[in-house]
Amino acid sequence: MAEILIGNFPLVAAVVLMGIGLYILIFRRNLIKIVMGITILSSSVNLFLVTLGYRTGGIAPIYTDAPEGPMVLPVVQALTLTNIVIAVATSALILSLVIRIYRHTGSLDSKKSRRMKG
C-alpha cells in the first residue's frame, strides 16, 4: 500500500488538492475563499493532467538538439495550457463580480449577498 502511494505520489497529491478545493467550495462562506477554492480545484486538475503524460526516464518533448530516449507526452501539456488560460479568464471574471457584489452589499459574506431565495 505504501509503495503504491509513494510511487504515484503526484496523482495522490492531485486528489488531495481536489478534496481541499471541494471542501472550501462547500463549507466556506467568504466570497474570496470561494474564488481560491476554484483556483485550487483547477490546479489539481492541471496537476493530474500533466502527471498522466509522464513516461519513466522521459525527457522534455522538444526536438531541438534532443538526446536519445523516450519523450513525455506533449498532448496533455497542451491540454493543461489551455486549462490554465481558461482559469485566468474565469478568475478575472469572477473577481470582477466579487468586487461588484461588494460594492452593492457592503460585505464579502455569501450569506449576506444571497438575496434571492425560494
Partner 1 sequence: MATLIEQSSILIIAIPLLIAFLTPLIGMASKKARNTVVIVGLAFVAFLVFALARDVILNGIHIYTLGATSSSLTIPEGTMIPVRIILEVDGVSVFMGIVVAIVALVAVVYSLSAMKEETGQNRFYTLLLLLIAGTFGMVFTGDLFNLFVFLEIASISGAALIAFKIRFADSQEGGFKYIVVSAIASLMVLFAISLLYAQYNLLNMGALAAAMQYTMLDRIALVILIAAFAMKLGGVPMHMWLSDTYSVAPASITVLLITASQASMYALMRICFILYGVTLDLAVVGWIIIAIGILSMFVGVTMAVRQTDITRLIAYNCVCEAGFMLIGLGVGLAVLGDRTALSTYGTTAISGAFFHMINHALFEGLLFLVAGAIFYRIGTRDINRMGGLGHTMKLTAVFFLLGALASSGLPPFNGFASKILIYESVYQFNPILTIIGILVSIITLAVFVKAFFSAFTGALLPKYADIKEVPKTMIAAMTIFAVIIIIFGLFPGLIVDWIVRPATDALVDQASYINAIMGAIP
Partner 2 sequence: MSKIVRTVANQLMLFVLVFGIYVIMHGHVTPGGGFQGGAVIASGIVMLIVAFGSGHIKNSLRERRLSVVESSGALLFIVVAFAGIGTVFFYNFLVGSRIFGGIPPTGSNPGDVWTGGVIPLMNLGVGLKVIAGLSAAVLALALFSSGEEME
Q: What are the angstrom distances between the C-alpha of 94 and each of 52, 82, 101? A: 29, 18, 10
CA gap 76, 15 in Å, rounded:
18
Among positions 27-56, residues that touch partner 1 (CB under 8 A) are: 31, 34, 38, 41-42, 45, 48-49, 52
Binding mask 49-88 for partner 2 (x = CB under 8 A): -----------x-x-xx---------------x---x--x
Query: ∠ at Cα 50 (68, 26), nearest 5°?
Result: 170
The grid cell for 84 is 490554465
Residues that bind partner 1 (CB under 8 A): 18, 25, 31, 34, 38, 41-42, 45, 48-49, 52, 75-76, 79, 82-83, 86, 89-90, 93-94, 97-98, 100-101, 104-105, 113-116, 118
